[in-house]
Structure formats: C-alpha cells, structure tokens
Structure 1
Amino acid sequence: MVFEDSAALRRFLLGLAEGMNAAGEPVSGIHETMVTVAHAYGREDTDFVLLPTVILVETGRGEEGRVAIRSAVNASFRFDQIAALYPLVEEAKRGAVDPAEGIRRLNEIGAMQPAHRWLLRTFGHAVLTTGLALLLAPTWQGALVAFCLGAFIGLAKLVRSPTLQIVFPIFAAFVCALAVFLLAPYIEIGDPLTLLIAPLVTFLPGGALTTATVELASGQMISGASRLVFGLVQLALLSFGILAAGTVVGVESSEYTALEVTAPFPWWTAMVGVLLFAVGNYLHFSAPASTFGWVLLALVVAYTGQQLGTVLIGASISGFIGALAMTPVVLWIGTLRHGVPSQLTFLPAFWLLVPGAAGLVGLTEAVGASQGMDDFTAALTSVMSIALGVLIGTALYRFAHHGAEELAQFHIEVPAALVATEQPPFWARMLPGTPRSFWGGRRVPEAPDAAPDARPPGRR
C-alpha cells in the first residue's frame, strides 16, 4: 500500500517518534521502528534524523522532498500512556491505521488523565520508596523514614510546572538530605547516603545513563553523548543538594561514608521489598492492571540475577548479570499476545538495578568525603556493566528470535534498469537475504524491458 498524503504521514511519523522518545526508547530502536512504519505505508523514500530533543522526517527525493521537524519537548509518559502507545505502534508497523486517525489517537494518549487519583499516586510513591529502602537501607527505622520522605516527594511531584521541574530535583535532594542528616544521630538508619537513594530514585538518571551507553555502543554518538552529559549533570545537581544540606546541618566529611548496622534485615525482607517496589510502580505511574504480574516477573529476574552476580563476580559489576538475565525476559514478554510493551518492564528493572544510585553515592562521597574519584569510577563501572548486560542480552534475544537472517542486512537495491539478468554465483545464494537466496530472501525484480520467455511452445 502506497499512502499518497505525505503531509499527514509525516505528521504521524513525527508523533510516533516523539511518543516513543517520551516512553524512554533509545533512538536506535525508534529509527528501526520508523523505517518499518514508513515501508508499511509504501514510502521507501522516507528518511529520519532522530535526536533526544529534535526529530526530522523527510518524504520524497530530490526537488519533491519535503521535511517536517519537531522540537521534542521534555515529556515523560506514565505507564498507562506507554501501554496505550505501543499497540498503536504495532498497528502502524502493519500500515493498519490511517495517519489522520493515528494523529488523533496520539493526541488522546498525550491528554490521558492518570488512572489513579492523586492520593493513591502519592501513596504509591511512598510504597515504591519503602520497597527500595528495604533493599538498600537495612533497618526498620530507615524504611519508615523513607516512607515519609517518599510520600512528600510523591505529593510534590504532582505539581506540573516546567519551570519548577528544573529546580525541583535539587530542592528534593536538599530537603530529603536535611531530614536524614538531622535524624541520623538519634535513629539507627544505616548509611545516610544509601537511604537517600530510596526517596530520590525517580529523579536518578539511571535509565538515561544506561540508554546513553547503549546508544554510544550502537553508534548513535550524538544522542548517546548528549544523554550521558545530561545524566551526569543530573547526578551533579542531586549531589549538590545533598552537600548543601550537609553544610547547613554541619555534617563532617567522614559522616558521608557508610556506617555499620548492628541488626540487619532477615533474608526474606528482600522479596518483600521487590513486591512493594512493584506495587508502588503500579500505583504511582498509573499502570494498567494487566501489567503488574509482568513487571513483578521482570523485577524478580533482575534482582535474582544481580544477587547471583554479587556472589559470582562481585558487587561492583553485579548489575551485568542482572541486566543480562532481565533483558531477554522483558523482550520476550513484549512479543506475547497478552504481554506488555518492553518499556513498561524495562524502566522499573533499571531503577531496581540502581545504576544512577551508585553514581550519586560515588559522586557525593568523592566530593563530600574527599575520597578522590575512586568511588565515582566504581559507580561508572557499575553503569557500564548494566549497559553491557542490556546490549548482550538484546543481541542474544534477537539472534534466537530472528535467526541468521540478520547476517546479511546490508543490501543496496539496484535500479531495475541496471539489474543483471544472469544467475548470481552459488556462494552468494548461500547467504540469507541476498537476491535469489536459497533461504527465501529478496528476489531481484525483472528489468522493465526484459524479454519474455522466448522458448518455443512445447519446451517448458
């Protein structure tokens, strides 16, 4: 099917790309999807330039080419919006939705109201924070403090002001650190910095840092570098808020380092923490009810893999095993008939692996405790290990799912008038995806002036 209304199609493609960007999809995945959608509408003459903040779509060639550009706003979809977006993406991949209708549905997705009321979403953020605190801060007092701070952050995040959102992470880090440092001398909360990770987890750029590393490894240098710088600046701002609170309270530099806990949690508390973390994500991000079980499965796999990695290769790069185990599972879930989009299960698992948390602790200790850059280097190693696990897990899944058809993806179509009519050599026909391949690959079209079969009748 060739869709003739190029203007509507360009706008539809822009909207799809912007929506996937708001869902946290890497630009490499967005580009692959957009090319598939354009081909489904019969527009092989479409090209894309995708960056985290700019999207360009060109249809047509030469003088007939038309370009549409969109400055991507700093939007972030909730889980219910992501769940509504990806069925539309799958329809677009088949060319099964009219672009005008697709634009209308995209606008509806952008204007969706949260499925849960503000009080339930605030409570969900508190539960999410408590679940993570049970994994990070090994005291009941610390978990209670994290619940209260999580409720405060969840309530404050309901204010939708672009201007306030710029400074709100610093303000949240300052307030949380101020409360924790004031309570630390009187309540056994464990390591103050580690406890601060729980209420600040939804501000941590762990997903951005991991996505940046994946994009850099896949050759997307501009988008990967910009995300990496953004993530590091976000960490620096959060660290500034914590250090400012420490200066106000009068915290000594040595008090930024970890403190020993006399009575740690029993082993089964970790499973309760993972369950609470899943419940908190479901409530705070207004996820559809059908996604809860899949998110919990991804969290269990990620946490189990991380703990196994701690035993096998050490805590600093244990995230590699967690990401390696989690990635094929979430991609597999996304292909099931009653599954959920992979972004819904990826994002909570990223936060559970906490690559940004390690960076925040490392940067704050490096500056506040004057320990040099060893801690921060270890934190970046943790981020790289998680990104490497995602890369290898994705590659293994795609190889198992698509087989050897990806071995011959580089192929440039030759104009029909220049296509040779002779048979390709035997070795070339052995490669999947090449013209006249034995494996059912693309067939080279006949030249328009090719002579018809001139064999005499009877000799067939």
Structure 2
Amino acid sequence: MAAANYPVTLIRQMLQRASAAYGITTESVVLPNNVQVIGPAGPNGTTIKSAAVDTDLRFDQTFPLARLVSAARRGAVEPAAGEAELRRITAAPHRLPSWVSVIGYGIQSAGLALVLEPTPLNLLGATVFGLLVGAIATASRGRPLLAQLVPVISAFAVTSLAILAAHRLGLDHVGLRALIPPLAMFLPGVAMTLAVVELTSRDMISGTSRLVAGFAQLAQLAFGIFIAVQILGESESQLTSIAVNKLGPWAPWVGVAVYTLGIMLFLGPPVRFVPWLLIVVYAAYAAQFFGDLAFGSYVSGVTGGFALTLCAMAMASRPGAPPAISLILPGFWLLVPGSMGLIGIAELFGADGDSAITVTFVSMFSVAFGLQAGLVGWQLARRVRRRGRGGFGLREHVA
C-alpha cells in the first residue's frame, strides 16, 4: 500500500482492521517508505515485521492490489495465498508494450495542452515533446539511478527544444504553460496533496517528508528549465505564464477526453476503467472550471478537489467499481496542482517573482484542501445516512 501511495493514515487503519479480522492484536509504525508491524508478546519475545519500500508500484498494479487489500481487510484470504498474490502483483509485467506507453504519453500531453493552453502550435509541441519525454521515461524503467535524473533531463530537453523552435519561428517568448503538459508526470501534485492530508491527520513526519520531497521535485524541474535558459542565452523574463486559447471554448472539454485516452494507453489500467475515469475527470474539471468563473483561480482548485473526491467516493461504493484511490489519482493529474507551483517557482527567477510565492503555495494547496473537504463531507454524509454507524468513506471504498 505504501508503494501504491496510499496515505499512511489509511495504511494504519487497514492494518488494524486486517489484524482484527484474523484475530490478532498488532501495533504499527507507518512511514511513506517503511512499514513496521509489531505483534503480540509471546514466550519467545515480540515479533516485529518490517518492510521497506524501494520503488513505487505502477498504476496498473494498484487494481489487483486493491482487491487483495480488500480481501485481507475482511480476513478472506489465507496469509500464504496473500503473500503469493502480492509477489505475483509486484512481478507482473507491463500490460501494454513500451511503444504503446510512449504514444499514450504523447496523447496525454496533447490533452493537457488543450486544457491548459489550446493553440495549434502548443498542441503540436506538446504532442512531440510528450513522445520524447515518454520515450525517456520508458527507457529509464528498471534503472533507479537513471530514473532519478529523468525529471531534470526531461525539463532540460523540452525547454531547449521549445526555445530553439521559438527562435526558428520568430516568437518573442516561451510560454510556461506550453512546457507543462510534457512534464506533467513529474509534477508532485499527489505528493503535495497526500502531505496536506497527512499533516491534517497529525502524521507530521510523513506529511513533512512528502512536502519536502514534492518541493525538491519541483526544484528539479525548475533547475532543468533554467539550465536550458542560461545555456541558450534566453532571458528569464521571456518565460510567461499567460493563458492563451486560440481554438475556442470547446478545446479544454475535448482535451479532457484526449487526456483520458492518453492515461489509458500510458498507464495501462483495465479497459473497464474507462467509463469510471471519464466521469471522474469531467466532474473534477467542470467543478474547477465553474469554480474559476465564480470565485477565481485559487478557489477553483478547492472546488475541483472537492468534486473529485465526492465523485470518486460515490462511484467506488458501486458494485464492480474501481477503488477510490485509483479514481482520484488521474483527477489530480488533470487538475495539475503542481503545475501552478512550477510556474510560481519558475517566476521566482523571472519578472514576476514578487507574487510567485503566493501563487506557489496557495495554488498547490488549494486542490489538497478540496480533497480534505471532500473526505470530511463524505464522512459526514455517511454518518447521517447510517445514523452514527458508518465508517470513514475512504477507509471503506479505497479498496
């Protein structure tokens, strides 16, 4: 569960419920990259089981993992069979060939370009750069040391090519929004959101570590961008974040569908995931869009995160639905809570540095706060419905 980026609060709750289902009393210490389970004391001492998280699970692996977690929570799987299934899940190969993943990421990047800045040039650039970044990321699979450098390498490559293309076409600026779609996989929106959830749940160590890791990843992207800017002699003031739409108001709504197709090809979840994913991402984007119209850009993150969570939790309660955590994550990537943070950090070095700190912090945490508000709203609704007998929604429907 830690390798699938479940909140540590949820992991601890799952361990407690699974232990109770098997008639065992345990205590646990859960961190983002390490889990320790302490068993009852016996004649030979106390049993302590520890597991370290070396790599994250792929998105397609989270679906069978959720089924296994659900079975373990009910005590419906034998321990030996559960361990065998877990080994099978972690050893499972990619469901789709690597070249399909590369194409999928190019499509995903094109979809985000339609959402963030729909212009013909940006759409073409996002698709080409998305294919490039997808190829780099795919080549780094199974190579942990190389994977650590991929964000900087990708940011440098995308920015360099964008600047060279802008010079070739006679453009006087490079839009930061045009750089975001191909770099979206490296934006730590989920890490930032989990950090806020864990900090508000009093898991200070886990929340703080995720927060620091998220800012470090944003800094990697910004570093790659400005290496390219300095090497090519571009002025930081020529990096702008002004939104432009030359295709029409329909473009972002089509972009959401294109983004969904890209997610399916790049991450390779089961085909039955498509209708659920479409409902969630359209609900989240619609809430963000109308929240922006009604209240402004900062509040739009709250409305988007709130709608995303409520929609995911409601659908996860339906028979045959995917786990809530698998529905929520792609919605975060569409809302791009980290993208505004990247723009803010980049502008710290440019002409708009005075307002960049506010943009960075408020925009990144707005979606996270929306998530937390959605979880609280779902919890209250279930308590009212069950008259005090209901549990915490995420705990019940995440798996």
* Structure 2 length-normalised TM: 0.92
Deviations 1:138-183 (A, max 9, x none): 2111111110111111111122200101111100000001011112
The match for 1:230 is 213
Contact 2:280/2:331 (8 A) holds in 1: yes
The match for 2:364 is 383
The match for 1:435 is none
Q: CA deviation at 1:187?
A: 6.6
* Corresponding residue SS for 2:38: strand
* 2:182 is aligned with 1:205: no
Q: How does 1:31-180 map to 2 (within 5 A)?
A: 31-43=12-24, 45-61=25-41, 64-73=45-54, 75-159=55-139, 160=141, 161-180=143-162
Contact 1:331/1:397 (8 A) holds in 2: yes
Q: CA deviation at 1:125?
A: 0.4
Q: CA deviation at 1:259?
A: 5.2
The match for 2:311 is 329
The match for 2:339 is 357
**Would the alpha carbon gap of residues 35 and 260 (structure 1) be closer, same or farther in structure 2, given more than 3 Å must change?**
closer
The match for 1:274 is 256
CA distance in 2, matches of 1:234, 1:27: 21
Instruction: Give 1:366's match in structure 2, choosing from 348, 352, 375.
Output: 348
Instruction: Give 1:317's match in structure 2, choosing from 299, 302, 321.
Output: 299
Deviations 1:310-342 (A, max 9, x none): 012101231100111110111122221110011
* 2:321 is aligned with 1:339: yes
* 2:230 is aligned with 1:247: yes
Contact 2:21/2:73 (8 A) holds in 1: yes
**Would the alpha carbon gap of residues 257 and 204 (structure 1) be closer, same or farther in structure 2, given more than 3 Å must change?**
same
Q: Using CA pairs under 8 Å that are at least 6 residues apart, name the structure with larger relative contact order, 1 or 2.
A: 2
Deviations 1:51-90 (A, max 9, x none): 01111000103764211112211x2222321111111111
Q: How does 1:8-19 map to 2 (within 5 A)?
A: none
**Would the alpha carbon gap of residues 189 and 147 (structure 1) be closer, same or farther in structure 2, given more than 3 Å must change?**
farther
* Structure 1 length-normalised TM: 0.81
Contact 1:58/1:65 (8 A) holds in 2: yes
Contact 1:358/1:382 (8 A) holds in 2: yes
**Would the alpha carbon gap of residues 147 and 67 (structure 1) be closer, same or farther in structure 2, given more than 3 Å must change?**
same
**Would the alpha carbon gap of residues 259 and 97 (structure 1) be closer, same or farther in structure 2, given more than 3 Å must change?**
closer
Q: CA deviation at 1:184?
A: 2.1
The RMSD of aligned alpha carbons is: 1.9
Unaligned runs of 5+ in 2: 393-399
Contact 2:189/2:333 (8 A) holds in 1: yes
**Would the alpha carbon gap of residues 187 and 127 (structure 1) be closer, same or farther in structure 2, given more than 3 Å must change?**
farther
Structure in which a larger fraction of residues adopt helix: 2
CA distance in 2, matches of 1:325, 1:393: 7
Larger Rg: 1
CA distance in 2, matches of 1:180, 1:378: 24
Unaligned runs of 5+ in 1: 1-19, 410-460
CA distance in 2, matches of 1:362, 1:239: 10
**Seq. identity, %:** 34
Instruction: Give 1:219's match in structure 2, choosing from 202, 224, 238.
Output: 202
The match for 2:375 is 394
* Range moving further from structure 2, 190-199 or 216-225: 190-199
Q: CA deviation at 1:359?
A: 0.5
Q: CA deviation at 1:387?
A: 1.2
CA distance in 2, matches of 1:259, 1:313: 19
Give 1:193's aligned amino acid.
L
Q: CA deviation at 1:376?
A: 2.9
Q: CA deviation at 1:346?
A: 0.9
Contact 2:166/2:172 (8 A) holds in 1: yes
